[in-house]
A and B are shown apart, each in its own frame.
Chain A
Amino acid sequence: MSFVSLLPSPFRRGRRLGGEGVIVIAVALAGTAAQGQQASDEALRDTYLSAEAAFRDQRLREAAEGYAKLAELTPGTAEVHAKLGLIHYLQGRFEEAVPSLRKALELKPSLPSVKPLLAVSLSGAGRHSEAVPDLEAGFADPSNGDLRRLIGLELQRSYVALDWTDQAARVVGELGKAYPDDPEVLYHVGRFHADMATAAMQKLLEVAPESVWGHQASGDALESLGNHALAIVEYRKALEKQPNQPGVHYSIGMAIQSSAGAAGDDEDAMEAFRQELRVDPSNALAAYELGEILRKRAHLEEARMYFLQAVDSRPEFGLGRIGLGRVLRELERPDQARPHLEKAVEVAPENEVARYQLALVYRALGDIGAAEREMGEFQRLQDEAK
């Protein structure tokens, strides 16, 4: 046996090295034997085999002891130091991992994966300034494959520890793009932004608690908690400070709509949305909400006007296009509805309402093939949602 490649996908503080991103460190046993100054080949082999067995069985303490002994016996073998560093890393003994990994690199700078592992260990040991340069290099290097994910998470952690939030935000953005389905990445992206939001809110309430923005932020926070009545109180305080503050009337309308259906809610909400449009005619969301209320009341022509206002302000606003297409279809103008629904499908291909409405429009226009295609997409999306 001359080479052994190893490593399952262990965790480090719960951050997977990556089932996919396995660090492989090959130990050249033949080479170690040749360099062992005092140990016999047999003793060296026994030590190696028992250390390896311990490693495979996740008995990391024994594996570390075995490799520490091997490192004494063959001090010139880079792979042995690298493996010892890796074991310390897996044990969470980052400070101890660092000298072993440094020694490995000193002996053999080309040893794969060791440089990023050293950087990650330095970060784990809280030595963030030292860790950052190699973490940055490792994250920028596509040849690190899935190991980039671990390096990126660690780089973000180091940046945050150093209070380099701009850089952390950049890495978080890149991680989110590169690993959009990865729960670990999503968790850390979420936590990073939640911490940033909290810090901004904290500062806002320190420097300007009674400002229009302070009240607006408090209203948003209360609204997200489902405390609609108190949210409205805060929004009204914001309006006392700045009656024409864009967005606040819209928020009041949404809070009214969200509160449990007291009689007259729709009227109050509609009035809030109308006021929003008086303050800011370009508020597509307010126009859309008005359109929706009116559509549900079967005031289709009025609804159409508001949906039109919404998409005029925001041509890429998928919901607005769907609303407009839908009322046009209900007004029996499928030819006018079609381009809006096609646009809706273009900007939001996974929106099943858009697909369904478009299918109905195609059918009304006599394009049965297209209607069936869209209905098929609609069914697919429904099945996926189940």
Chain B
Amino acid sequence: MLTAAIAAGLLCAQAQEPTGQEPLQDLLQQASRALADHRYDDAARGFEEALAVQPRLAAAHANLGVARYLLGDFDRASSAFRHAHEISPSMPNAELYLGLSEARAGRVESAMGPLSRGFWNASDDPWRLQSGILLAELYAARGNHDQLVRVVSALRKAFPDDSEVLYLAYRLHSDLAAEAIAGLVREAPGSARLHQVTAELLVSEGDFPRAVRQYRQALSIDAKLSGANRALAVAILNSDPDEALTAEAEEALERELRLNPRDAESLYQLGEIAWRRGQQEAALERYRSAVEMGPQFAEGRIALGKALLAVGEPEIAADHLETAVRIDPENETARYRLAQAYRQLGRIEESAEELRQFQRIRSASESLSAIYRQVQRGTARSGVPDTRSSK
């Protein structure tokens, strides 16, 4: 792709450059053909001969740079691109190619300027992609995280589906997350936040009983820790709790709501507790409050839909479930409940479509869920002490 991009871009420039001399024109055409045919040695010789006749041909310098670059002769490629850029500063992407050649030649310092300007001003996607990735590598090697994050963000916007860019973003953010958590371990080894991070790691591993212990420790240090009361409750509710533990979860949620009265998720979890206890009306009330506090909180809508279906209100349930699907189209529970609602309303075809969506999402999520957990765990583990040895 790189070769094609270079050749196409610069050959185009070549064709537009008048020389005024027929023999020279022949030389240039032959060299261009050689470049297009991947005969880079021939191309380089041809452009050099043409430049011996007429040294001020910017496109010929650029094409010579291309041939040299593709031969791996980055020093001479740099020199050729530099000439091209000096003769014709407006030549599209010439500075970018210069930066690429400088970088490949190992001259990081002199590569940075042209590469950076070229990347931010590049008009042509394949080159912007290549230069952005290279620029990111250079920033990473220099430990310049601010610029690195900036370039990767720009790449993600410009190339949202490019797998290399996605990998780059994944690695960058994983490393930065690990660095921050390592800092937390170093600076505040007994802190509430570190217990919270450890608990989050355990939750991602499905080890809810240990997570509960870590959340309790976090809260014993800082009773008002952001979201920790709610997280404690959720961890308890996921660990097959008896009534005493369920009551502890309930108290934790009430504490969270005292700290943050608009916390829709806590209201939703209280609804779930009521629902488990068979208290439909109480659950409905909590779910309604959750939706009121967090209209964009899909889980609240789904739970409310579920409860409304149970009390024979499929029409209102369908409204909430449709909203939930709009908020989170890939939520399999929302699709499933909506299928149920449509069925109760006699909207059989729509119900069947929602079931199809449900099955599609479920099969995809089964293969993805494991790896998501791994990412979370991988990120957290890098800085967190081994939880397995702690009691």
Q: Chain A: residues with CB nearer than 8 A to chain B?
A: 10-11, 13-15, 91-95, 125-126, 165-166, 169-170, 173, 176, 180-184, 186-187, 189-194, 196-198, 200-209, 211-214, 216-218, 220-226, 282, 314, 316
Contact = CB atoms under 8 A, between A and B. Distances in A.
B368 A207 contact: no
B177 A200 contact: no
Q: Which of B142, B146, B163, B228 has the most CB of A within 10 A?
A: B163
B167 A14 contact: no
Contacts of A213: 163-164, 166-167
Contact of B170 (A181, A204, A314): A204
A194 B177 contact: yes
B153 A165 contact: yes
Interface string B141-165: 1100110011001001100110110
A220 B378 contact: yes
What is the predominant secondary structure among interface residues of chain A facing chain B? helix
B372 A14 contact: no
Contacts of B163: 204, 207-208, 211-214
Given A15-B226, A181-B187, A213-B166, A202 B181 contact: no
Contacts of A205: 368, 371
Contacts of B170: 197, 200-201, 204, 217, 220
Given A15-B226, A181-B187, A193 B180 contact: yes
Interface in B61-75: none
A197 B180 contact: no
What is the predominant secondary structure among interface residues of chain B facing chain A? helix
Interface in B17-56: none
B379 interface: yes
Contacts of B226: 11, 13-15
Contacts of B376: 194, 198
B357 interface: no
Contact of A190 (B184, B188, B371): B184
The 9 closest A-B pairs by CB, nearest first: A14-B226, A224-B378, A190-B180, A193-B177, A197-B173, A183-B188, A208-B163, A200-B169, A204-B166
| Band of interface residues on B | 35 or more
Interface in B247-261: 258-261
Contacts of B187: 181-183, 186
Contacts of B260: 13, 92
Q: Which of A91, A125, A213, A223 has the most CB of B within 10 A?
A: A213
Contacts of B350: none
A193 B196 CA distance: 16
A311 to B, nearest CB: 13
A213 B146 CA distance: 24
B183 interface: yes
A224 B382 contact: yes
A14 B382 CA distance: 24
Nearest to A180: B183
A369 B383 CA distance: 38
Contacts of A207: 161, 163, 166
Contact of B381 (A201, A224, A316): A224
A120 to B, nearest CB: 14
15 contacts: A92-B261, A183-B188, A183-B194, A187-B180, A187-B197, A190-B180, A194-B174, A194-B380, A198-B376, A200-B156, A208-B163, A209-B367, A220-B378, A224-B174, A224-B382
B227 interface: yes
Nearest to B169: A200
A39 B174 CA distance: 61
Contacts of A92: 258-262
Nearest to A188: B180
A225 B141 contact: no
Given A187-B197, A221-B374, A197 B228 contact: no
Interface string B7-24: 000000000000000000
Contacts of A194: 173-174, 177, 376, 379-380
A338 to B, nearest CB: 25
Contacts of B169: 196-197, 200
Nearest to B170: A200
Given A186-B193, A193-B177, A197-B177, A220 B379 contact: no
Nearest to B381: A224
B375 to A, nearest CB: 5
Contacts of B191: 183
A318 B391 CA distance: 38
A192 B178 CA distance: 11
A166 B153 contact: yes
A10 B222 CA distance: 11
Q: Which of B222, B259, B294, B374 has the most CB of A within 10 A?
A: B374
A32 B227 CA distance: 39
A15 B188 CA distance: 16
Contacts of B141: 314
Given A192-B177, A201-B375, 20 more contacts: A10-B224, A11-B226, A14-B222, A15-B226, A92-B259, A165-B153, A183-B187, A187-B196, A197-B174, A197-B177, A197-B379, A201-B372, A203-B166, A205-B368, A208-B161, A209-B367, A213-B167, A218-B371, A218-B374, A222-B374
